Amino acid sequence: MLIYYLKALHLIFIVSWFSGLFFIGRLYVYHQQALEKGEGGNNYLIDLFKSGEKRTMYIIILPSTIITLALGSTLMYYTGAYRLGWFHFKLLLIIAFLFYNHLYGRIRKKLSIGENKISSFKLRLMNEVPFFFLVGIVFTVYLKDLFSGIWALLVLFLVVISATLMIKLLRKKEK
């Protein structure tokens, strides 16, 4: 019975972690757009973004990350998942996702001191990255198959590339 509570809590904190990353990514886009459009003189707006980014990172993302990893480690040990091939792929995705989180923390610090060099468009693209991790992890976990996660990521990647190319072609056509 305990394992069901652990799984439920693990899932709740995963949702919180991803939600925080999607939200802070959008805040980064708005913050950078304000800086690019010369809204830097509007200290209230910039300070509001800085405050929201800091709170999201320290009140939502970091606690959710720590609790998710603690619960996940407990589940990994309790179920013996660490011995299974699909879990190794999931672990690889989690490690890559942690690096992505670290990158987001660095972006927050650079934005807070006004030294960010990443455009709002690139930040918008970066804000979609957690979705790829989510797809890969979910397909790997629920199908318990290494190749299902890889195929899901490849198909999604091809769809995104196709959509991106279509958008670029439409933009060129409009100009």
Main-chain dihedrals φ then ψ at residue 44, nearest 5 degrees: -60, -45
Q: What are the tokens at 147?
A: 């190749």
Instruction: Read off the pLDDT of each residue in 14-30 and give the average, rounded to a whole number.
Output: 96
Residues 46, 35: contact at Cβ < 8 Å? Answer: yes
Angle between helix 129-143 and helix 2-36 axes, rounded to 10 deg = 160
Least confident range from 12-16, 40-44, 107-111: namely 40-44
Q: What is the pLDDT of residue 49?
A: 93
The tens digit of pLDDT for each residue in 41-80 reads: 568 888 899 999 999 999 999 999 999 999 999 999 999 9
DSSP H/E element including 20: helix 2-36
Q: What is the pLDDT of residue 167?
A: 77
The tens digit of pLDDT for each residue in 151-170 reads: 777 887 888 888 778 877 87
At 135, is the pLDDT very low, low, confident or very high (cuts 50, 70, 90)?
A: confident
What count of Cα atoms within 13 Å lies in the side-chain half-sphere of residue 99?
Answer: 6
Burial 141-169, CB ≥16 within 10 A → b, else e:
beeeebebbeebbeebeeeeeeeeeeeee
Rounded Cα distance between 167 and 41, Å, is 33
Q: What is the pLDDT of residue 146?
A: 66
